[in-house]
Amino acid sequence: MYRDGARKSIWQEEIKRFPSESALGQLFDVAIVGGGITGISTAIKLQESGKRCIILEASNIGFGTTGGTTAHLNDFFDTTYSQAISDFGLENAKLFAGAGQEAISIIENNIRKYGIDCDFMRKKGYLFALDDKQQKELADIVDGAYKVGHEMLYTHEIPFPIPFKEAVMIPNQAQFHPVKYIRALCEAFQNAGGVIHEQCLCESHDEQKGFVQLNTTKGTVQAMHVVYATHIPPGISILHTMNAPYRSYAMAFSMKGEPQEKELGYDLCDPYRYYRFQEVDGQQLLIAGGEDHKTGHEEDTGECFSRLENYVREHFDVETVHYSWSSQYYEPSDGFPYIGKLPSSSGRIYVSTGFRGNGMILGTLTSQILNDLIVSGSSKYEHLFSPSRIKPVAGFTDFVKENAVVVFDFVKDKLFREKITSLAKINEGEAKVVTYEGESFALYKEKGGTVHLVKSTCPHALCEVRWNSAELSWDCPCHGSRFNVNGKVLTGPTVKDLQRIDPEEGSEI
Ligand SMILES: Cc1cc2nc3c(=O)[nH]c(=O)nc-3n(C[C@H](O)[C@H](O)[C@H](O)COP(=O)(O)OP(=O)(O)OC[C@H]3O[C@@H](n4cnc5c(N)ncnc54)[C@H](O)[C@@H]3O)c2cc1C
């Protein structure tokens, strides 16, 4: 398995393994946990700065969201500049506005420096309103962009066959192949003396005097500084109250005719749909994404693909669906990412999360911010993105809303489970959570009849998992931990598998 789901993403063919013989038991300057774009970009930057670094990855490089992204490189964000101005003030919004081009420049510099072939291309972005409500939102977005000095130009045409009311063109955006990019960065990192350990799950850390000890499935690692590039660090963390996990869906289609212009596009629906093109084996594929929902909150995740496909077929001249996959991102409670020191740590542990749908940019920017913090002790983004910042009042509404959902789910789920009494009612290809002799189990029956049975309580915070039919996984609606049908961890923050049950014997294995 190369990524955290049963479906193959468009990028996955390019994932390469990085076997390592190096010993763990040494003192490193920085241990980076997580082998996605955030961890790898940060590791190479720190290694370039003369720090001796190790990357610890639970599965393989590109296993997480970086292997399931769509890799638009934007300098406008899911948090609009109008929202940023009203919640954080004009000066902070201007600082935020510079982050996009800074991150794209970091990527371009890495590509030049290491001669990386990753299909990087500058593109135009088109934001388009489909109805009156969206037209008003677009006007607000343009107004905010104008105030922070960001270029958005009204246009009468968009290069997508979708009827629209109003649209803007945003110059100087970009796209690339995320896995080709991180794979080459890993090679450069190793050439510069960096160490990579795959299949190395970091379970916990102990802060010691002068260093941090990481406890991993391969043994202990000691480092002067630790960077968690894992979305949320393993275990129970304050960051759970500040971030909510969401799923988004993507599909890649071949078209009957060759598209004339292959730019980036976004409507303003809630959730919004996003479009770009990618060449695979000489063929241009349209990648469309959308249908986002909170993890564990969609009854039938397969329906998300049907809705997306139907919409695309309605507007584009589709030939074939080549890929369909989904992946996970994190919504911060106040619209800005959390990049910096882990709250309540002694100052040697760093986190980077809450990227919304802009993690290619914010994960890349993390490399500069954490390099500046670790090497020179300060960063211009330090206060803006501080994980310890006091949230503005506007963000508080979302914060309460997300937490309220978590509590509600837990209660609702228990009642729901009581109604399910029999293991016998399950058909092939189906999954259910059932109660049996007072305990609750998550059950999946493969085509052919093999049954996979696990205890349905997520070991992280004891919430009940829910079935994700699109990726054949058990997803926790509380904090986004995910497990395969045998209970093995796919996505943290849990570091423990679901307890597996042998359905024949009734005994735990
Ligand atoms: C469908 C979709 C489309 C998107 N499109 C865009 C886009 O167009 N543009 C954009 O900017 N952003 C986009 N995003 C967001 C972006 O892809 C992510 O924010 C970004 O990939 C996150 O990268 P990361 O390195 O932080 O995390 P990941 O890529 O998830 O990497 C984290 C890694 O940490 C490992 N790990 C976790 N826990 C542990 C542990 N305890 N020990 C060791 N290893 C561990 C995991 O196995 C994983 O490999 C999209 C997101 C989704 C879901």
What is the average pLDDT value for the chain, to the nearest integer?
Answer: 91
Q: Is the CB of 328 under 6 A from ligand 1?
A: yes
Domain boundaries, given as residue ranges, for the chain: 24-68+180-241+335-391, 412-501
Confidence of residue 439 (pLDDT cuts 50, 70, 90): confident
Kindly give the number of the ligand 1 atom that is closest to the alpha carbon of 39: 25
Q: How far apart are CA 396 and CA 157, in angstroms?
A: 39
Confidence of residue 1 (pLDDT cuts 50, 70, 90): low
Share of the chain above pLDDT 70, in %: 91
Confidence of residue 236 (pLDDT cuts 50, 70, 90): confident
Rg over alpha carbons for the chain, rounded to the nearest Å, is: 22
Overall average pLDDT of the 55-78 stretch: 97
User: What SS3 class is residue 501?
Assistant: strand
Q: Compute CA distances 483 → 1, 216, 237, 337, 472, whole Å.
A: 13, 19, 20, 26, 9
User: What SS3 class is residue 240?
Assistant: helix
Q: How far apart are CA 260 and CA 256, in angstroms?
A: 12
Are the CB atoms for 79 and 356 separated by under 8 Å? yes
Q: What pLDDT is attached to residue 433?
A: 86
pLDDT over 60 (residue 145): yes
56, 328, 329: residue to mutate for ligand 1 pocket, most atoms within 8 A of CB: 329
Nearest CA to ligand 1 atom 37: 230
CA angle 87, 88, 94 (to 5 degrees): 125
User: What SS3 class is residue 202?
Assistant: strand
Q: Under 8 Å CB-to-CB from 324, ≥6 apart: which residues?
A: 7, 249, 250, 251, 252, 305, 309
pLDDT over 70 (residue 78): yes
Q: Tell which CATH architecture fits domain 24-68+180-241+335-391.
A: 3-Layer(bba) Sandwich (3.50)
Q: Is the CB of 60 under 6 A from ligand 1?
A: no
The two structure tokens encoding residue 345: 């740590």
Kindly give the number of the ligand 1 atom that is closest to the alpha carbon of 355: 19
Q: Is the CB of 252 under 6 A from ligand 1?
A: no
Q: How far apart are CA 257 and CA 115, in angstroms?
A: 33
3, 57, 230, 460: residue to mutate for ligand 1 pocket, most atoms within 8 A of CB: 230
Q: Is the CB of 196 under 6 A from ligand 1?
A: no
Q: Is the CB of 278 under 6 A from ligand 1?
A: no
Nearest CA to ligand 1 atom 26: 38
- The number of beta carbons lying within 10 Å of the beta carbon of residue 349 is 22
pLDDT over 50 (residue 402): no
CA of 285 relative to ligand 1 center, distance in Å:
22
More confident of the two residues 418 and 325: 325
Q: Is the CB of 92 under 6 A from ligand 1?
A: no
pLDDT over 70 (residue 488): yes
pLDDT over 70 (residue 423): no
Q: How far apart are CA 35 and CA 173, in angstroms?
A: 25
Q: What pLDDT is attached to residue 21?
A: 76
Q: Under 8 Å CB-to-CB from 96, ≥6 apart: which residues?
A: 77, 79, 81, 84, 88, 148, 336, 384
CATH topology identical between 24-68+180-241+335-391 and 412-501: no
pLDDT over 80 (residue 400): no
Q: Tell which CATH architecture fits domain 412-501.
A: 3-layer Sandwich (2.102)
Q: Is the CB of 355 under 6 A from ligand 1?
A: yes
Q: How far apart are CA 365 and CA 339, in angstroms?
A: 9
Helices and strands per DSSP (H, E), number in the chain: 8, 25
Beta bridge partners of 326: 249
Nearest CA to ligand 1 atom 51: 69
Q: Is the CB of 69 under 6 A from ligand 1?
A: yes
pLDDT over 80 (residue 419): no
Q: What pLDDT is attached to residue 356?
A: 97
CA of 260 relative to ligand 1 center, distance in Å:
31
CA of 490 relative to ligand 1 center, distance in Å:
12
CA of 153 relative to ligand 1 center, distance in Å:
31
